[in-house]
């Protein structure tokens, strides 16, 4: 009975994965990033990050929870172009079923030879977390799985 109650309170899933689409928009001179993260995993990571309970995606969520999300993503998700770390701009989030969708962007004008992404999000809570990156840039599509042991991906156009 206790198991049934626990599962009724919080959906349990046995895999820990998030998906991030990173698309280069040459006209706008920016990379547009859309991330899909399970709500329960994200709130656990935010709770560890802020040292207070968060309720993102819940009717109890507060503006402080969204600020925590923005700070967390800006600290954890790093994006470098040609060896120089870029500013990650948080735009918004929305809820879809049991996931949070985050919208981010990185503006960059100039020639891009190399991109480096680091995304250890959620790995501080679940070592088995996998962050799938789908990159569309320079006419190519590349997918990679980032993990706690390999949180960084580098892609070069040369």
Mean pLDDT of 2-7: 39
pLDDT of residue 12: 62
pLDDT of residue 109: 94
| Average pLDDT, rounded, for the chain | 92
Taking only the tens place, the pLDDT of each residue in 80-114 is: 999 999 999 999 999 999 999 999 999 999 999 99
> In degrees rounded to 5, what are phi and psi of residue 3?
-65, -40
Structure tokens at 19: 């998906």
Structure tokens at 117: 């992404």
**What band does 8 get if pLDDT is binned at 50, 70 and 90?**
very low
Domain map (residue ranges) of the chain: 14-156
| Element (DSSP H or E) covering residue 77 | none
Q: Which residues lie below 8 Å from residue 54, measured CB to CB, with a gap of 6+?
A: 43, 46, 47, 61, 65, 68
By C-alpha distance, which of 109, 128, 110, 112 is closest to 14?
Answer: 128
How many other CB atoms are found less than 10 A from the CB of residue 39?
A: 19
State how far the Cα of 122 lies from the Cα of 131, in Å rounded to an integer. 9
By C-alpha distance, which of 74, 84, 67, 65 is closest to 35?
Answer: 74
Mean pLDDT of 6-28: 79
pLDDT of residue 13: 59
Taking only the tens place, the pLDDT of each residue in 49-92 is: 999 999 999 999 999 999 999 999 999 999 999 999 999 999 99
| Element (DSSP H or E) covering residue 99 | strand 99-107
State how far the Cα of 91 lies from the Cα of 69, in Å rounded to an integer. 11
State how far the Cα of 145 lies from the Cα of 20, in Å rounded to an integer. 10
State how far the Cα of 55 lies from the Cα of 42, in Å rounded to an integer. 10
Percentage of residues in the chain having pLDDT higher than 70: 91
């Amino acid at each position: 009975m206790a198991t049934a109650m626990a599962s009724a309170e919080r959906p349990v899933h046995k895999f820990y994965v998030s998906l991030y689409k990173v698309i280069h928009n040459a006209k706008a001179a920016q990379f547009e990033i859309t991330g899909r993260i399970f709500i329960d995993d994200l709130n656990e990571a935010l709770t560890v990050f802020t040292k207070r309970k968060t309720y993102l995606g819940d009717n109890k969520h507060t503006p402080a929870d969204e600020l925590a999300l923005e700070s967390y993503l800006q600290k954890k998700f790093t994006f470098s172009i040609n060896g120089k770390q870029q500013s990650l701009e948080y735009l918004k989030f929305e809820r879809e079923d049991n996931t949070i969708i985050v919208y981010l962007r990185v503006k960059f004008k100039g020639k891009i030879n190399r991109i480096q992404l680091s995304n250890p999000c959620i790995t501080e809570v679940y070592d088995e977390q996998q962050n799938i990156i789908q990159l569309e840039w320079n006419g190519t599509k590349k997918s990679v799985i980032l993990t706690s042991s390999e949180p960084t991906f580098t892609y070069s156009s040369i």
